[in-house]
Amino acid sequence: MPTSTTVFDQFTRRTADVTAQLTALGIPLTAPAPPPADLDPTDPWASSYPVPVDRSSLAWCTAVTMLADHHHTGIDRQVLAADALLRELGVRGLAQLHSDLHAGAPVDYRFTRCPYCSGIGEDPTQPTCGEVGCAPWLEFAGHDHPCPVCHGDDYQPQWVAEEQMTELEERLADAIEEREERASLRYRLRAWLCRRTVRS
């Protein structure tokens, strides 16, 4: 009897594949803490608390996979870069990384599949309202938690492209009509100026 799979199984497979590779390479699943930074006496808010990085999290596995695929290297070459990204920017850093890998251009997730949620628009880790920090009155509303990378953009390139083509056609028609009106106005002005010149 075949077992049924859900869309969320792909996220489990992603983390399982990456953690299996890390284990085979002898790379620990928890990033070592960075050396403590020198405390700045002029900055009372400075903190030397190192943010732990879990290399078995979906966000980290996504980051290291994106980096390895982009640079055509093994994941072992991108471990430290993924550590730094997640330590500095967290899960939302994946959106910045995706933009950077596209030469700094903004990524439209209606056309480009989100690397974190794979286009479903929801947070693939299915967090609780308490973990996300939702308002208390929302906890019982059964609301979705949008993906922190694509912010719930609906990945439907065919539908969005058709909608944009219609909008572009309307704008083009408006521009042509406006150009014709301006050309007509220029012609009338030129004719009027020519008549005044001839009279005087």
Q: 90: domain range? A: 1-32+49-155
Average pLDDT over the chain, rounded to whole? Answer: 84
Choice between 167 and 164, residue whose per-residue pLDDT is larger: 167
Instruction: Specify if 101 maps to a domain.
Output: yes
Residues 192 and 123 reside in one and the same domain: no
Q: b/e string for 126-163 if b means 16 or more Cβ within 10 A?
A: eeeeeeeeeeeeeeeeeeebebbbbebbebeeeeeeee
Residues 146 and 168 reside in one and the same domain: no
State pLDDT tens for residues 13-30. Answer: 999 999 999 999 999 888
Instruction: Specify if 39 maps to a domain.
Output: no
Residues 167 and 147 reside in one and the same domain: no
Instruction: Specify if 99 maps to a domain.
Output: yes
Residues 197 and 143 reside in one and the same domain: no
Instruction: Specify if 41 maps to a domain.
Output: no
State the pLDDT at residue 151.
Answer: 92
Residues 64 and 116 reside in one and the same domain: yes
The pLDDT of 194-199, averaged and rounded, is 69
**How many structural domains compose the chain?**
2
Query: Closest Cα to residue 62, out of 153, 139, 123, 1?
Result: 123
Residues 55 and 131 reside in one and the same domain: yes
Domain end call among 138, 155, 172: 155
32 to each of 26, 84, 88, how far by Cα in Å? 14, 11, 15
Residues 140 and 188 reside in one and the same domain: no
State pLDDT tens for residues 89-121. Answer: 999 999 999 999 988 888 989 889 999 999 999
Residues 59 and 114 reside in one and the same domain: yes
Say if residue 81's pLDDT is above 90. Answer: yes
Can you give the pTM of this predicted structure? Answer: 0.70
Residues 21 and 104 reside in one and the same domain: yes
